[in-house]
Amino acid sequence: MESLRGKVAIIGVADTEVGIVPHMSATQLTIDAALKALDDAGLTKNDIDGLITCNSFAEPILYHAEAMAEYLQIKPKLCYSVLTGGGTTFSLVEHAAAAIVAGLCHTVLIVTADSLRSGLTKEKAMTSQASTGHPQFESIYGPTVPALYALIARAHMEKYGTTSEQFAKIAVACRKHASLNPAAQMRELISVEDVINSRMIADPLHLLDCSLISDGGAAVIVTSAERAKAFKQDPIYLLGVGEGHHHEHISQALDFTTSGATDSSKLAYEMAGLGPKDMDFAQIYDCFTPTVLVELEDLGFCEKGEGGAFVDSGAIELGGALPINTHGGLLSHCHPGHPGSMFALTEAVKQLRDQAGERQVKNAQTALVHGQGGIMSSHTTLIIGREVS
């Protein structure tokens, strides 16, 4: 495969209002994010010739990308929707980059949004959640999504001695970062004790081990590296990307404590010519606290089984060796479903532009962003940076 390293760059990013946004539908959030990203890049809608979206649970549309193009009144050469769970954002960037390098289009708008908090009844939310499990081996026993992730948490605890307190420290770090982010849904500081004492959802996961339910949307604009320098924002280059897929249903996973992130990160590091120690910070998918711990290991930031000790060291907090989820992540910034990981990418770009305010990582040059969908099923890793060296 032809390497994508340094051939495309992100030139525009934007987030909508997040949290509880009843005055905007999923479609309105999508368009709001798109228009704000165009403004950030200094473009008009007529400069866009590629559009990639992710469909909405709250307001599903059969031909979603085409409908958004119609709403924007653009006629892109490339137009489609992708839905691969929490990894969707980063696979979309990979697909957009490949399309640009292949000459199918030159400037791609990637936009995702949903209204999980305001746009779904509890009944619809539970129906959607139930579709996650395998119909023969999982769903018939009635597990919720948190219960399926709890299997991963319990397996790691039994195998490596990981503790609930170590999981809790991930939630505490994300909330600390969210407290510095005026846009975050939850900004009040929490302690390890707060997490441990919060309501049990699926043993060993407590309420504060679980991500939020939110409304919101975000967008990025990608173009060729050659064109990128002509726009008003400093370009942030794609250095590496990779995907990893070990299973779809968790009951079919060969190992609950190792994921496809091992494969996706290996491909991304190889393309970038970089390794874990070269990353100044990371945005790691945090739908539940144990997800982060397993991913830290699988992405190579610590050895397998040492994720708990890595978290204990304070490495994941601002000022630590590897600050993660500097916007607050899904645990504290927001989680509107499939679009949730888009905020990790817009935050990473802001950090690399030195636009993150109080939560700014000093001298940030290179970042890893990672997303996963399903129950640790579909993984995509991106490495982005200020320079192509």
Residue with the two structure tokens 């009951």: 251
Full DSSP string of 11-42? EEEEE---B--TTS-HHHHHHHHHHHHHHHHT
Full DSSP string of 307-351? HHHHHHTTTTSTTSSS-B-TT-HHHHT---SGGGGHHHHHHHHHH
Residue 79 tokens, joined? 């137009």
**Of 328, 34, 71, 323, which Cα lies nearest the Cα of 181?**
328
Residue boundaries of the structural domains of the chain = 8-119+212-385
Whole-model pTM?
A: 0.96
**What rounded mean pLDDT belongs to the chain?**
95
Residue 100's pLDDT band, with cuts at 50, 70 and 90, is very high
- The answer on pLDDT for 1 being more than 60 is no
User: Percentage of residues in the chain with pLDDT exceeding 90?
Assistant: 89
Model confidence over 114-151: pLDDT tens digits?
999 999 877 766 666 666 788 888 888 888 899 999 99
> What pairs with residue 223 in β-bridges?
9, 107
pLDDT at 389: 74
pLDDT at 85: 82
Model confidence over 9-57: pLDDT tens digits?
999 999 999 999 999 999 999 999 999 999 999 999 999 999 999 999 9
CATH number of 8-119+212-385: 3.40.47.10
Model confidence over 291-310: pLDDT tens digits?
999 999 999 999 999 999 99
